[in-house]
Structure 1
Amino acid sequence: FVIMGDFKPAEALTRRRRATLAGARAATLQPMNGRSEAAYQSLVTADISLDGGQKKRDYSLETTRAKSKTKRRNDMSDMLSCHKTQESLLSSASGYKNYRGVLNWCVVMLVLSNARLFLENLLRYGILVDPIQVISLFLNDPYSWPAACLVIEMSLCFSLCAQGSFSELVGFLVHCINMAVMLTFPAAVVLLVPSMTSVGGLFVLGTYTILLLKLYSYKDVNLWCRELSTIKAKKLSRSLSCKSHIHTNIYTYEELYFVCYPGNLTLRDMYYFVLAPTLCYELNFPRSPKIRMSFLLRRLFEMLFFIQLLVGLTQQWMIPIIQSSMKPLEDMDLSRMTERLLRLAVPNHLLWLMFFYSFFHSSMNFTAELLRFGDRQFYKDWWNSESVTYFWQNWNIPVHKWCLRHFYKPLLRRGVSKMLSQSAVFFLSAFFHEYLVSVPLRMFRFWAFMGMMAQLPLAWFVGRFLRGNYGNAAVWISIIIGQPFAVLMYVHDYYVIHYRQEGD
């Protein structure tokens, strides 16, 4: 039958099950005819179980057929439809964050636009780069080197702290006098010695300012150590003194060379701190295991390359724009002044970025690697700043640590409010900005001071009204536009004082 196709095995099995089910049901309907009640109950139970099994099989078959129909319907729907609920990629609700292509496009556009400006500059002014001219920025008189003499004398001011033994009051007075001399003496030399150039004066005052901040930190930390030793503290924090050690015959490098107060009061320890790329003193700095020569040479190459690039771009790009801006500034032509400001913003900002990389990454890492200084966090992600405060806290970590440790927190401990302490920090920064600009130029216009103090209302405005990308854009605009504005103001005043009077 199977071969001939006249009878299907599936149908035969189905009919057999139906016949068995019908027979069982008929048997339950017949009287017991002498059967026991238990036998009758077993027949009823068999009937119910057969019926339930059939229902389960029927339900399973119907479920399978329903799933098959649903799958066929979904497959058909997928074939006919091409839409689903989703957000646009440029919408914030989409969660899309991979904009590398847009960033590459911005870089390409920036390179092309600056290449056009640079070519236009070459066609208009020719080649203006003169490496020999850079020497005259440091040496006005080749037989008189006041800047170099001041830098050499700087070591005497610092080594004075380690000479002799004084009482607490006498030592404090000596430190105050020493720091006052370090602040005023180089400024007086820069202002009174005619052979001191502006660039040389800036280099000297910057070096003395760094040394002044280091000296203040050195004085504070050793004062804290004396106070702790006075109260017989057994264990000092790592930033003040050494850790306690377990007396074993095996020592690590850090354990072997750890120093406790007053064992740190040596010239070797002080001069290491003078050269270290930090402003905050510690008795035991973190040290790297060895000097990596490949890393050191890469940083050295970057330093030399960026110095040459900064000098060349300044001579070729910045100076012609500044010279062409003098006439609009004298005539107070606002439209042309704005145009010159925007023209100056691009090269000024590019040079500032190069300076940041060459100084905070290349040179400071070079010094740290040479001294095996372990803490290499000289900056954080200031480019992601969504507030002005975040930018000033993260673009210059050594200065921020010094202000936080030796100025801001001591003010808070003395009961000064948080807002007033922040304002004091900005005031101190504004003073040193003006000190480093006005004294080398031998004129006092307070543009740098007002620019720094203007950061306070700007920080309040950005923090209150702008968030996220808008705050980040506001920070970038303040950096790109604020700096060239201050540059133009100082250059204009310098030109009016020195060159227009000579012309008259």
Structure 2
Amino acid sequence: QSHAGLLNLCIVVLIAVNSRLIIENLMKYGLLIRAGFWFSARSLGDWPLLMCCLTLPIFPLAALMTEKWAQRKLIRDHVSILLHIIITTTVLIYPVVVILKCESAVLSGFVLMFIASITWLKLVSFAHTNYDIRVLSQSIEKGATHGSSIDEENIKGPTINSVVYFMLAPTLCYQPSYPRTAFIRKGWVTRQLLKCVVFTGLMGFIIEQVSLLRDP
């Protein structure tokens, strides 16, 4: 499906809401862009944030282990739900604590929270989908779904390969299996990356020019 309409709507809303403020601000204060706000020499020394980012894969592995235990009935459903809540909450709190402790540059903190937020959304979907799969599997075992057609490919438990693919794939909705194209559409991937860079820069410009007003 094409999301061009939604993208155009976001652009219109973004420009319509902020255009007047940006023009007035430019006329009054001039250009207020500071390179040091987003990136500075201190950004290269944000090793704690880099280490925090590199340790984020621990949380998907913890979620996978939780599902494995629940699938083997080593823990009850309410225990697995509690563990997923702890995992998803920690994946957001952990980077925030590191950022506040290190007083990092905005760009480094933004990238870390961006990755952590995506990880959180993926883990929430992972927990919900696997809970539904377990419920459906239990119904099949009890014979409650007799006569209904169920694709076994869609009710299999998670594996390390499926979790790794899900965490790297550009989707926030977990499925046991995904339809794939015969090859990677490099042009489409390049366009999406370009859009990400352009709109991130536009948001940064709005933050610098409007939200962080200061005397000239």
> What TM bracket, shorter-length normalisation?
0.5 to 0.7
Displacement of 1:173 after TM fit? 4.4
Which of 68, 72, 75 pairs up with 1:168? 75
Q: CA shift at 1:222, angstroms?
A: 1.6
Aligned counterparts of 1:181 and 1:150: Cα–Cα separation in 2 = 12
1:187 paired residue number: 96
Matched residue, 1:156: 58
The CA deviation string for residues 196-225 of structure 1, in whole angstroms up to 9 with x for no partner, is: 345544443443333233223212222222
Answer yes or no: is the 8 Å Cα contact 1:183–1:212 preserved in 2: yes
**What CA distance in whole angstroms lies between the structure 2 residues aligned with 1:206 and 1:188?**
15
CA contact (8 A) 1:144 1:195 kept: no
Q: Equivalents in 2 of 1:179, 1:301: separation in Å?
A: 30
Contact 2:39 2:107 in 1 (8 A): no
Instruction: Say if 2:158 is the partner of 1:282.
Output: no
Equivalent residue, structure 1, for 2:210: 318
Contact 2:133–2:155 (Cα < 8 Å) also in 1: yes
Q: CA deviation at 1:289?
A: 4.8
Determine the structure 1 residue equivalent to 2:8.
Answer: none
Distance change (3 Å), C-alpha of 1:279 and 1:161: same
Q: 1:134 aligns with which of 38, 59, 71?
A: 38
Task: Provide the rounded CA distance (Å) in 2 between the counterparts of 1:177 and 1:291.
Answer: 36
How far apart, CA to CA, are the structure 1 residues paired with 2:190 and 2:48?
A: 32
Unpaired runs of 5+ in structure 1? 1-109, 244-258, 325-504
| Equivalent residues in 2 for 1:481-496, closer than 5 Å | none
1:253 aligned partner = none
Find the counterpart in structure 1 of residue 139 from structure 2: 231
Distance 1:302 1:180, change over 3 A: closer
Q: Distance in 2 between matches of 1:221 and 1:210?
A: 17
d(CA) in 1 for partners of 2:206, 2:89: 38
Give the structure 2 partner of residue 383 of structure 1: none
Q: CA deviation at 1:155?
A: 0.4
Contact 1:161 1:175 in 2 (8 A): yes
- Aligned mates of 1:300, 1:184 — CA distance in 2: 28
Return the letter of the residue paired with 1:187. V
- Aligned residue for 1:168, secondary structure, equals coil
Helix, strand or coil for the counterpart of 2:158? coil
* Pairs aligned (count): 185
Assess, with a 3 A threshold, how the Cα gap between structure 1 residues 270 and 307 changes in structure 2: closer, same or farther.
same
Alignment of 1:159-308 (within 5 A): 159-163=61-65, 165-166=68-69, 167-169=74-76, 171-191=80-100, 193-198=101-106, 200-232=108-140, 233=145, 242=151, 259-262=153-156, 264-308=157-201
C-alpha distance after superposition, 1:271-309 (max 9, x if no partner): 222233433322233444543333333333333344444
Counterparts of 1:231 and 1:319 in 2: how far apart (Å)?
A: 53
- Measured after TM superposition, the shift of residue 195 of structure 1 is 3.0
Please tell me whether the aligned partners of residues 141 and 195 of structure 1 are also in contact (alpha carbons under 8 angstroms): no
**How does 1:256-405 map onto structure 2 within 5 Å?**
259-262=153-156, 264-312=157-205, 314-315=207-208, 317-318=209-210, 322-323=213-214
Q: 2:26 aligns with which of 114, 121, 127?
A: 121
Post-superposition Cα deviations, 1:388-426, rounded to whole Å, max 9, x if no partner, equal xxxxxxxxxxxxxxxxxxxxxxxxxxxxxxxxxxxxxxx
TM-score of the pair, normalised by structure 1: 0.31
2:49 aligned with 1:147, yes or no?
yes
Aligned equivalents of 2:90, 2:200: Cα separation in 1: 31
**Which aligned pairs between 1:88-127 and structure 2 lie closer than 5 A?**
117=23, 121=26, 125=30
Instruction: Evaluate the alpha carbon distance shift between residue 117 and residue 157 of structure 1 in structure 2; reply closer, same or farther with a 3 A threshold.
Output: closer
Percent identity of the aligned residues? Answer: 22
Read off the aligned partner of 1:216 and give its amino acid letter: V
RMSD of aligned C-alpha atoms?
3.8
Q: Is the 8 A contact 1:140 1:195 kept in 2?
A: no
Q: 1:14-29 residue pairs with structure 2 within 5 A?
A: none
Give 1 or 2 for the bigger CA radius of gyration. 1
- Residues 309, 182 of structure 1: CA spacing in aligned structure 2 closer, same or farther, 3 A cutoff? closer
Which deviations, in whole Å up to 9, do the C-alpha atoms of 1:232-290 show, x marking residues without a partner?
A: 246566xxxx36xxxxxxxxxxxxxxx3433x521221122223343332223344454
In the superposition, relative to structure 1, how do residues 131 and 225 fare at CA in structure 2: closer, same or farther (>3 Å)?
same
Q: How far off its partner does 1:159 sit?
A: 1.1
Instruction: Give the counterpart letter for 1:182 in structure 2.
Output: V
Determine the C-alpha separation between the residues in 2 that align with 1:313 and 1:168: 49
1:119-172 superposed Cα distances (whole Å, 9 cap, x missing partner): x937963x5545465213xx7463233322222111011112234842132544
